Structure 1
Amino acid sequence: MRVLLSTYGSRGDVEPLLALAVQLRALGADVRVCAPPDFEGLLAGAGVTLVPVGPSARELTKLAPPPSSLPERAAGVIAAQFSAIPAAAGDCDAMVATGMLPAAAGALSVAEMVGIPSVYVSFQKLVLPSPDHAPLAYPGRPFPPGVRDNRVLWELDALSVDALFGEALNGCRARNGLPPVDHVRDYVIGARPWLAADPVLDPWPSASDLAVVQTGAWFQPDDRPLPADLEAFLDAGAPPVYVGFGSMPMHSAENLPRVVVESVRAQGRRAIVSHGWADLSPDADDCFVLGEANHQALFPRVAAVVHHGGAGTTSTATRSGTPQVVVPQLADQPYWARRVADLGIGVAHDGPAPTLESLSSALRTALLPEFRARAAAVAATTGADGAAVAAGLLVEMSAGRVCACRGDFWRSLRPAGG
Structure 2
Amino acid sequence: MRVLLSTYGSRGDVEPLAGLAVALQALGVQVRVCAPPDREFVELLERAGVPMAPAFSSVREWVGEMLKRKAEATPQGAAELISTTAGMIVARQFEAINAAADGCDAVVATGLFPSTAAARLVAERRGLDYAYAAYCPYFVPSSHHRPHEYPNHPLPADIADNAVLWDRDIEIMNALFGAGVNAQCAAIGLGPVKNVRDYVFTERPWLASDPTLSPWRPTPLRDVVQTGAWVLPDVRPLAPELLAFLQAGEPPVYVGFGSMPMHGLKGAALAAIEAIRAQGRRAIVARGWAQLGLLDDRDDCFAVGDVNQQALFGRVAAVVHHGGAGTTTTAARAGAPQVVVPQIVDQPYWAGRVGELGIGCAHDGPVPSFESLSAALAIALSAQTRARASAVAGLIRADGAAVAAKSLVDVLNQAKRSVTA
- TM-score (ref. length: structure 2): 0.94
**1:160 matched to which residue of 2?**
172
2:336/2:389 contact within 8 Å kept: yes
**Alignment pair present for 1:99 and 2:111:** yes
In 1, the alpha carbon distance for the partners of 2:86 and 2:394 equals: 40
Structure 1 segment 117-196 matched on structure 2, within 5 A: 117-196=129-208
Letter matched to residue 256 of structure 1: A
2:231/2:398 contact within 8 Å kept: no
Q: Which moved further from structure 2: 394-403 or 213-222?
A: 394-403
**2:33 matched to which residue of 1?**
33
**1:48 matched to which residue of 2?**
50
**Alignment pair present for 1:206 and 2:218:** yes
**1:85 matched to which residue of 2?**
97
**1:284 matched to which residue of 2?**
297
How far off its partner does 1:139 sit? 2.5
2:265/2:292 contact within 8 Å kept: no
**Alignment pair present for 1:351 and 2:365:** yes
2:266/2:292 contact within 8 Å kept: no
Q: Which runs of 5+ in 2 are unaligned?
A: 71-77
2:238/2:312 contact within 8 Å kept: yes
The secondary structure found in structure 2 opposite 1:264 is helix
**1:412 matched to which residue of 2?**
none
Q: For residues 114-140 of structure 1, what are the alpha-carbon distances to aligned partners after superposition, in whole Å with 9 as ceiling and x for unaligned?
A: 111101011011111111111111123
In 1, the alpha carbon distance for the partners of 2:151 and 2:45 equals: 31
How far off its partner does 1:71 sit? 1.4
**1:317 matched to which residue of 2?**
331
Letter matched to residue 406 of structure 2: G
Q: Which runs of 5+ in 1 are unaligned?
A: 407-418
Q: For residues 244-302 of structure 1, what are the alpha-carbon distances to aligned partners after superposition, in whole Å with 9 as ceiling and x for unaligned?
A: 10000124446334212212111111110100000012143221111111111100100
**1:404 matched to which residue of 2?**
418
1:132/1:208 contact within 8 Å kept: no
In 2, the alpha carbon distance for the partners of 1:145 and 1:20 equals: 39
Q: Which moved further from structure 2: 131-140 or 6-15?
A: 131-140
The secondary structure found in structure 2 opposite 1:99 is coil
In 1, the alpha carbon distance for the partners of 2:239 and 2:201 equals: 41
How far off its partner does 1:207 sit? 4.4
**2:24 matched to which residue of 1?**
24
Q: Which moved further from structure 2: 248-257 or 289-298?
A: 248-257
**1:392 matched to which residue of 2?**
406
In 1, the alpha carbon distance for the partners of 2:54 and 2:330 equals: 27
The secondary structure found in structure 2 opposite 1:381 is coil
In 1, the alpha carbon distance for the partners of 2:345 and 2:63 equals: 13
**1:265 matched to which residue of 2?**
277
**1:329 matched to which residue of 2?**
343
1:341 to 336, 344, 355: 355
How far off its partner does 1:405 sit? 7.2
1:108 to 120, 128, 133: 120
Q: For residues 355-389 of structure 1, what are the alpha-carbon distances to aligned partners after superposition, in whole Å with 9 as ceiling and x for unaligned?
A: 11111221122111100001011111122320000
How far off its partner does 1:334 sit? 0.3
2:208/2:228 contact within 8 Å kept: yes
In 2, the alpha carbon distance for the partners of 1:400 and 1:219 equals: 26
- TM-score (ref. length: structure 1): 0.94
In 2, the alpha carbon distance for the partners of 1:230 and 1:333 equals: 28
The secondary structure found in structure 2 opposite 1:277 is coil
How far off its partner does 1:210 sit? 1.5
1:253/1:352 contact within 8 Å kept: no
- Runs of at least 4 residues of structure 1 off by over 6 A? none
In 2, the alpha carbon distance for the partners of 1:215 and 1:254 equals: 36
Equivalences, count: 406
**1:13 matched to which residue of 2?**
13
**2:73 matched to which residue of 1?**
none
Q: Which moved further from structure 2: 264-273 or 59-68?
A: 59-68
2:255/2:269 contact within 8 Å kept: no
In 1, the alpha carbon distance for the partners of 2:279 and 2:419 equals: 61
The secondary structure found in structure 2 opposite 1:248 is coil
Q: For residues 200-245 of structure 1, what are the alpha-carbon distances to aligned partners after superposition, in whole Å with 9 as ceiling and x for unaligned?
A: 1111113444211110011012221111110000000000000010
The structure, 1 or 2, with the larger RCO (C-alpha pairs under 8 Å, 6+ apart) is 1
2:375 to 361, 374, 377: 361
2:142/2:219 contact within 8 Å kept: no
How far off its partner does 1:75 sit? 1.8
**1:410 matched to which residue of 2?**
none
Letter matched to residue 319 of structure 1: R
2:259/2:289 contact within 8 Å kept: yes
Q: For residues 127-156 of structure 1, what are the alpha-carbon distances to aligned partners after superposition, in whole Å with 9 as ceiling and x for unaligned?
A: 111111111111232112222110111012
CA gap 1:125/1:257 in 2 versus in 1, 3 angstroms: closer
